[in-house]
Amino acid sequence: MDMLTEKEKMLQGKIYDANGDSDLIKERKYAKNLCFAFNQLPPDEAGKSHDILKSLLGKTGSFFEILPTFNCDYGYNIELGENFFSNHNLIILDCAKVTFGDNVFVAPNCAFYTAGHPIDATERNKGLEYAYPITVGNNVWIGGNVCVMPGVTIGDNTVIGVGSVVTKDIPSNVIAAGNPCRVIKSI
């Protein structure tokens, strides 16, 4: 019987140990160093920032822009579609895949959390966690201070209102807002 590595468990949505695995720790340090370099660049060195992000992220379109500050866990699990824009203070905990479609606009202070921890305190106190992917469709606008939780899919042509906490899937062609986020109306 083959034993899975902690990284394989992470990528398969199983409970894994992120804090005791030297390979995952090394990968996070690599991503943190690239995020640090990106966040410290002067504004007139946009070309260098683009190069740093291209080396960090798993996939990008030919046009994308992320304004500093930006932080992520691994980087390689993040895929940006064409014409992606994020304003300041984007956080992506990409222990699982985070996929953004084309023409996605993200306002300031947004966070996408694929990582979660067990409800059981004994398991949680061992430092164990899980990660479920997040998918954001095409033509999506995400308002400021939005948190998107593990396993959520946001459909195409959808607007997520300011301050929302998205805990469940949101369909296409709607305006949704609130805590928890819910559909307000169809568009």
Q: What is the pLDDT of residues 71-126, one digit of tens each?
A: 999 999 999 999 999 999 999 999 999 999 999 999 999 999 999 999 999 988 98
Residue extents of the structural domains in the chain: 6-186
- Domain 6-186 homologous superfamily, CATH: Hexapeptide repeat proteins (2.160.10.10)
Q: Which residues contact 68 (CB under 8 A, 6 or more apart)?
A: 38, 39, 41, 49, 88
Averaged pLDDT, 13-24: 94
Q: What is the pLDDT of residues 22-50, one digit of tens each?
A: 999 999 999 999 999 999 999 888 789 99
Q: What is the pTM of this model?
A: 0.95
**Residue 16's beta-bridge partner residues?**
129
Residue written as token pair 């999506």 = 140
Distance CA 14, CA 53 (A): 28
pLDDT of residue 127: 87
- Our answer to whether residue 88 is catalytic in this structure is no
CB 176 within 8 A of CB 183: yes
pLDDT of residue 45: 85
pLDDT of residue 65: 96
Considering the chain, what percentage of its residues have pLDDT values greater than 70? 99
- Selected catalytic residue, list 7, 117, 126, 182: 117
Averaged pLDDT, 148-164: 98
